[in-house]
Structure 1
């Protein structure tokens, strides 16, 4: 009897696995996961070299994991079961109070930090560098973290970086600004970015450091772009029980004249917003059409002022506030470039540059060597 039971269990397991394997072979591969907001692995190409160095096996594992039948349904079940078990962290994302998801900040690489500081200090010998290191919600809403959570302290990291930067670097303190406005909706709950309101306060901090008068918030019409925004932390943690965020656009009440040139795709537009993204999963890409290597913005302002911005995606929601102050804005994303930024600055007659990153991104950036000659 026991033997028949074991045989039955074995056959059932084989049929179960075989069924899924058959579905995977017959099913059409998906190229992108809306839930996780990332590309999915495609069918690996076999080669003798890849087979013997082990990369082919790893590619097969990624392919099977990404193309597994009913994958999203299993992710949803896993997420719900972890919530029932009161698990408070998944894939580097904490489940915080008041529906906040907060990204874990691991111990940063101090050697990388020192190298990046050195690159920025050298850059400041030739250009006027304004440096802004934006905290994330993990620091501003630290009291919402689970009791056991112990991320590396972002404020401590900001102090270390600030202490290493030379006197020629204009350091902009946005941490205290965000603390002062923490009772407002300055960060998304499902995404790692600051909201448009948070970006506005970052813009105010820049204006103070740069020595210009910011546009009052009353100069903008606050328009709801979407009430169904599920951001990067929702995707990373697979938290299917999350409540959506509201994404706002701040539209100037006085119409602007703009020419926005996306150099990599050779596209011109007259808007800083790509509204089609509001109908997609990654709605934050409405700001400057997501990330591009180089964006050149020409405004209707006639004051001769130019600004370069070396940045991550935190800058995307802040840049629209700057168009009232500069005749030209050059947006440079080092993640997609392989060219000397100093040479680009000189060839475009640029002197002033804002380096803007969020703390956790800055801790892992290894492209600052591009700032050189």
Structure 2
């Protein structure tokens, strides 16, 4: 009787499109067709729909996590609760053949752009770098096994930049957020420093910037995903050059412009990490005061959002493409924009889990 009543209430309640607490789009009621039923797609999406739209979902997630914590459980929804208040996302190996498909797509794009200088940085997540923070039974080691496979995959003329040693050497500093899957601005700064020599620019030192804490109440994606409560929030810091220059930021698809890379109003929202560039967009175009004329294309996930501001003093123009939202032809973009340098920057989890990287090959077929 109770189960039936719950189902009725669920179907009568309007579906939510976006979960503010989980910072993600929610599954909507799938369309029924013979093809989707036979393939199993309808059943899979319907199960996700029931899970995502279950009444008072946030309340039940929190209640379950409180119960689990009380029983000493150290994992919830693929998130470990580790030492010193760190929430660390569990590493999931890629599906069979998926890694090879992505490497092939990158190699195809490399062959189609022989005149460009290309670089790739795959950032290990906290599961690998802060492995000592994980519960005793957990391991982040598999992530680096796959990292090595990519590094050894003969990625043509693409220079592979290893940020792991710099992160390992500074892991006692706050280089990853405790409640979020991203690295902090400090972590991004360390990666920027590693890009300098390979990409032929002189990276600035930390004392060239003024740091400013813009919030101390950041609860990130892992806090929302796990449902773990009684966790201390993170702080977000911004690095401001001591000799600032003017910046123009064009959100191409949205046909909007700004004179700052930071959207300070987003610090009042749930996802405060969107203070960087107002989150993710298909194509962003940044114009700087740099007069050298170098044009950079960044193909990226959200880890790059907090690193890009450091690069603006070294390039005249930076085009930023997020393949998850970009419908254009990347190869044509490099030609139209007369790009000189390309940086592919992803964290390991997004690189493995998101299929959009394969679309790089679409532009060269």
CA distance in 2, matches of 1:57, 1:115: 27
* 1:143-222 superposed matches below 5 A: 143-166=132-155, 168-222=157-211
Of stretches 313-322 and 275-284 in structure 1, the one that deviates more from structure 2 is 275-284
Which has more radius of gyration? Answer: 1
Unaligned runs of 5+ in 1: 1-13
Deviations 1:80-124 (A, max 9, x none): 001112112121111111111111112224632233223333433
Please tell me whether the aligned partners of residues 118 and 342 of structure 2 are also in contact (alpha carbons under 8 angstroms): yes
CA distance in 1, matches of 2:110, 2:39: 44
Q: Which residue of 2 aligns with 1:95?
A: 81
After TM superposition, the score normalised by the length of structure 1 is 0.88
Q: Among residues 206, 215, 236, which one is paired with 1:226 in the alignment?
A: 215
Matched, 1:130 2:113: no
Please tell me whether the aligned partners of residues 102 and 138 of structure 1 are also in contact (alpha carbons under 8 angstroms): yes
Q: Among residues 320, 326, 332, which one is paired with 2:315 in the alignment?
A: 326
Deviations 1:239-261 (A, max 9, x none): 12322111111122223211111
CA distance in 2, matches of 1:291, 1:117: 23
Change (3 A) 1:65 1:132: closer
Matched, 1:359 2:345: no
Q: Which residue of 2 aligns with 1:240?
A: 229
Following TM superposition, by how much is the alpha carbon of 1:64 offset from its aligned partner in structure 2, in angstroms? Answer: 4.4
Following TM superposition, by how much is the alpha carbon of 1:337 offset from its aligned partner in structure 2, in angstroms? Answer: 2.2
Please tell me whether the aligned partners of residues 273 and 288 of structure 1 are also in contact (alpha carbons under 8 angstroms): yes
Deviations 1:46-94 (A, max 9, x none): 7898789876676665454434333322221101001112112121111
Please tell me whether the aligned partners of residues 334 and 368 of structure 1 are also in contact (alpha carbons under 8 angstroms): no
Matched, 1:344 2:333: yes
Of stretches 120-129 and 281-290 in structure 1, the one that deviates more from structure 2 is 120-129
CA distance in 1, matches of 2:104, 2:46: 41
Q: Which residue of 2 aligns with 1:121?
A: 107
After TM superposition, the score normalised by the length of structure 2 is 0.89
CA distance in 1, matches of 2:345, 2:183: 13
Q: Which residue of 2 aligns with 1:11?
A: none
Following TM superposition, by how much is the alpha carbon of 1:29 offset from its aligned partner in structure 2, in angstroms? Answer: 4.8
Change (3 A) 1:69 1:221: same
Deviations 1:144-202 (A, max 9, x none): 11122134522222221111134622121101110111111000011111000100001
Matched, 1:370 2:360: yes
Of stretches 307-316 and 66-75 in structure 1, the one that deviates more from structure 2 is 66-75
Please tell me whether the aligned partners of residues 276 and 305 of structure 2 are also in contact (alpha carbons under 8 angstroms): yes
Q: Among residues 246, 265, 288, which one is paired with 1:257 in the alignment?
A: 246
CA distance in 2, matches of 1:54, 1:158: 32
Following TM superposition, by how much is the alpha carbon of 1:143 offset from its aligned partner in structure 2, in angstroms? Answer: 1.1
Please tell me whether the aligned partners of residues 35 and 238 of structure 1 are also in contact (alpha carbons under 8 angstroms): no
Unaligned runs of 5+ in 2: none
Following TM superposition, by how much is the alpha carbon of 1:262 offset from its aligned partner in structure 2, in angstroms? Answer: 0.6
Q: Which residue of 2 aligns with 1:140?
A: 129
Change (3 A) 1:105 1:53: closer
Of stretches 102-111 and 138-147 in structure 1, the one that deviates more from structure 2 is 102-111
Please tell me whether the aligned partners of residues 128 and 141 of structure 2 are also in contact (alpha carbons under 8 angstroms): no
